[in-house]
Structure 1
Amino acid sequence: MKKILPIILVIVALIVVASLTFGIKRTKTVDWEESFNEKSNKPYGTSVLYKELPNLFEDYKLRTVYHQPSSYLTANSEFGYGDHHAKGNYIIIGNSDYLTDFSVDKLLEFVNTGNTLFISDYYFAQRIHDTLSIDVDFEYNSKKDSISHLSFQNKNLNAITIDKNEGDYFFSSFDSINYTILGHAKTDKKRVNFIRVPFGKGNILLHTEPKAFTNYHILKDDRYRYVESALSYLPDDNVYYDSYAKRQTPYGDAEQESNLSWFLDQLSFRWAWYTALIFMLLFMIFNAKRRQRVIKIIKPLQNTSLAFVKTISNLYIETQDYKNLIDKKITYFLEKIRTDFNMDTSKLDDDFIKKLAGKAGRKKEDVSQLMNYIKWLRTKDELSEQSLIKLNRFIEAFYSQ
């Protein structure tokens, strides 16, 4: 055994060195998830926009907001306990469905005092729709090229063509007298997709194509000019960039990225790390064989119930029937509410939320966020794996407190 060990180690070392020398090429699947995360370098992340904002708003402060606007703007108000008085431009790119009614009210107060709110998303919080009397609709692209044309009402600004677009979201209803049309989207028909809404002393800018602000489109050809033109409607002032829904726990605490993640994204560093782990594992294996007696393995009794659950779970996952899984999870969760708290779950209204929060000893805002998300899920015909994961996190957080 002692003679064979050095040979094995040499062979492994040669394989690793050859791999690092000539490079290990493998097919890499592109992640097209629309995360709109300012730290993400993936196609539909917004790291490029985030890095360029200090150049677009030169001499002004850029702050990243990892909390609900309600708590952040309250803390940094004139009489708040924050480190400054929030004034300027509040920017939200995608994933704005997290906004609670309280957060929308705080954002409207922020605008009312002379500031600007910019939101680019497919849909907006219902409170925004109701307050501003707007409706958003969707038009499928009848052509096979999945191309949409984005332009501005001001012909001097840069229009672009974006690809990988199934269709366009547009404003189907708004106050055309008091609101200003800033831009359009066109697949088969020209539709309004960018408006400015005066509110108090400030303005609200609403845009319905957040993909235009992602890495993929900013770095392709001269499409970055469209982003520059869109943001030119914002006044020169401090910028508050929303990151609450991009990187968070179910109740809003920012999750920190691992410091090792950047190194693992680099091919040389990644394989150097794997090499170290391989040699460490080999050392432990051969060292353990020399010093430790053989321990008899006693197989535990098999848990057939757990195996059955795993089999059923795998069946759902393989068929990617996330909608069915989400419906069942909601049903079981509401059944547990009925059993544990003896409550009627047929209406998930404000009265129900208030009673459940009192009985369960939870914050009303947390319970409201969970129930609003359940009601939103019920309106969708198709759901993704991310929606299932997010629901699971909400439910686990509800019972873990």
Structure 2
Amino acid sequence: MKGSKGFAIGFTIFILLLFAVQLNMPGRFSWEPTFANKDRNPFGCYVFDSIMAQSLPQGYCVTKKTLYQISTGREKRNVLIVTDKFQPDANDLKAIRRMAARGAKVMIVAGGNSTYTADSLMRDSIGAVFKGFPYFSINGLKQKIKSDMEHALDTIYWQQNDRVYGKGAYTTYSMMTESHVGNLTALSFDTLATSRTHLNPLAIRRSLGKGEVILVATPLLFTNYGVLDDNTTGYVFRLMSQIADRRVIRTTAYMKTAEELEAEQSPLRVFLKKPPLRTALYLALAVIALMIIFGARRRQRIIPVVEPPQNRSLEFVQLIGTLYHQKKDHSDIVRKKFGFFADELRRLLLVDVTDKTADNHTFDIIAQRTGMSRHEVADIVTDIRRVADGEMEATEYGVRLYIDNMNMIIEKIS
């Protein structure tokens, strides 16, 4: 009896320890592209929308309105559409041309494999369509990296060379660049980005009326993953800067609904496709329903208490904080913030804070716009740059000071 009791206690302690370990482990991510505003997984847009709302100077918001509903408004704003397949109808394309005629810019970020009707309408109205068969599999990507690392990667080349951004190259996985923009029927297109593996461009820009239409064939990069990956953040912000001259509104009316995504992920879709399996499923459900009805007549069931939906924002912050706390890498946070800080200064002041040879000009411009002394600006930027360049490691107190200083400069400029 003593041995059995000791075994039971030991087994209970083991189960509790196992449960505690599993509870404290980070949750597994879902790599299903949703582009949803509240999705915190890699291919959702929770972080993407949050960063854009804080970074775009004229404002940024997300709505469920259609293009027609947006075009009827009087507010001057640009439009962003991010989806896996863009399948517009005639009214949608008329709304795009109506907004462009008034000077608005419409950026459509989508993959290929659309319907023939939608492609024909886009070809006639805009002069280009999305081509390719986008597909992402995390397991397939891992196998490809192990077997052929060279072909698992692709390089995106930024083709424009203006006073804000020069030509650049961005390395990403080839599964992110499976689509492209094709069937170009107009001669007035500007190529914004190409890739090493495609002859056709990944991003183009066309003047339409007083405005512009921008087509981008890399939707997986306009997500939480794309905006947090150091290799592609610059590419995303360069594209977003094309429509940053007005308030940007991202519409989710052309994404798959939660019900459609759930139906695609459900294993029941296999049964529903085959008539014999569908009949067997319906019979099984009918038998189960009868068992539930007769069982309910024998005993009274307690009505469960429905808990209200919980806010998971704090859990997301705790997860990210736990990862950085475990790594003890305060300098990496400063480097990421310094990258955003440098992009904002390029856009707002047309200066490159990463170019040490132009420090005299850069510090003078920043001091004039912020009202700070040149000496104070030089001290702040020099200290942050030492951490960003790896010459010095940031402490837990230092990372807060550096980020507060960068935020202070941007707020004074804005």
The count of residues paired between Structure 1 and Structure 2 equals 245
Aligned partner of 1:260 among 304, 310, 313: 310
CA contact (8 A) 1:64 1:240 kept: yes
Measured in 2, the distance between the counterparts of 1:95 and 1:138 equals: 11
User: Which residue does 1:369 correspond to in 2?
Assistant: none
* 2:168 is the counterpart of 1:179: no
Give the match for residue 201 of structure 2.
192
1:220 to 2:226 alignment: no
Tell me whether 1:132 sits opposite 2:126 in the alignment.
yes
Question: Aligned residue for 1:388?
Answer: none
SS in 2 for 1:121: strand
Q: Secondary structure at the match of 2:200?
A: strand
Q: Aligned partners of 1:20, 1:264: CA distance in 2, in Å?
A: 22
CA distance in 2: counterparts of 1:264 and 1:191, whole angstroms: 43
Instruction: In structure 2, give the amino acid aligned to 1:131.
Output: S
Q: Specify the alignment match of 2:173 in structure 1.
A: 163
Which residue does the alignment assign to 1:100? 89
Structure 1 position 52, deviation (Å): 1.4
Match of 2:62 in 1: 64
Task: Specify the alignment match of 2:249 in structure 1.
Answer: 240
8 Å CA contact 1:38, 1:45 repeated in 2: yes
Q: Kindly provide the CA deviation profile for residues 142-200 of structure 1, in whole angstroms up to 9, marking residues without a partner as x.
A: 9664222111112514421111517532233314631111111222x443111111111
Give the Cα–Cα distance (whole angstroms) in 2 for the partners of residues 268 and 136 of structure 1.
39
Q: Specify whether residues 14 and 182 from structure 1 end up closer, same or farther in structure 2 by C-alpha distance, changes over 3 A only.
A: same
Match of 1:43 in 2: 42
Whether the 8 Å contact between 2:93 and 2:125 is mirrored in structure 1 is no
| Contact 1:168 1:186 survives alignment (8 Å) | no
Q: Distance in 1 between matches of 2:230 and 2:215?
A: 25
1:148 to 147, 151, 154: 154
Equivalent in the alignment of 1:52: 51
Q: Which residue of 1 aligns with 2:71?
A: 73
The answer as to whether partners of 2:59 and 2:248 remain within 8 angstroms in 1 is yes
For the 8 Å contact 1:134–1:171, the answer to whether it is kept is yes
Give the AA of the match of 1:48.
V
| Cα distance, 1:48 vs structure 2 | 2.2
TM-score w.r.t. the length of structure 2 is 0.50
Query: Take 2:87 and 2:199, find their aligned partners in 1: how far apart are those partners?
Result: 30
1:1-400 alignment, distance < 5 Å: 18=17, 22=21, 24=23, 29-58=28-57, 60-74=58-72, 77=73, 85-123=74-112, 125-126=118-119, 127-138=121-132, 145-155=151-161, 156-163=166-173, 165=175, 168-175=178-185, 177-187=187-197, 189-246=198-255, 248=257, 259-260=309-310, 262=312
Q: Which ranges in structure 1 are unaligned for 5 or more consecutive residues?
A: 1-9, 78-84, 252-257, 270-401
- Matches of 2:208 and 2:63 in 1, distance apart? 23
Identity %: 16
Q: Which structure: greater helix fraction? A: 2
Change (3 A) 1:137 1:98: closer
| In structure 1, distance between residues paired with 2:259 and 2:176 | 30
In structure 2, how many angstroms separate the alpha carbons of the residues matched to 1:234 and 1:247? 24
Structure 1 residues 42 and 12: CA distance shift in structure 2, 3 A: same
TM-superposed CA distance for 1:21, in Å, is: 5.3
Q: Which amino acid aligns with 2:229?
A: K
Native 8 Å contact 1:150 1:160 kept in 2 = yes
Counterpart of 1:65, as a letter, is T
Amino acid in the other structure paired with 2:105: T
Determine if contact 1:111/1:199 at 8 Å carries over to the other structure. yes
Q: Could you say what secondary structure the match of 1:114 adopts?
A: coil
Distance 1:105 1:118, change over 3 A: same
State the distance in 1 between where 2:77 and 2:130 align: 27
Counterparts of 1:43 and 1:158, CA distance in 2: 24
* Counterpart-to-counterpart distance in 1, 2:213 and 2:154: 24
Deviation at 1:139, TM superposition (A): 8.2
RMSD: 3.9
SS in 1 for 2:312: helix
Aligned equivalents of 2:134, 2:194: Cα separation in 1:
15
The aligned amino acid for 2:201 is V
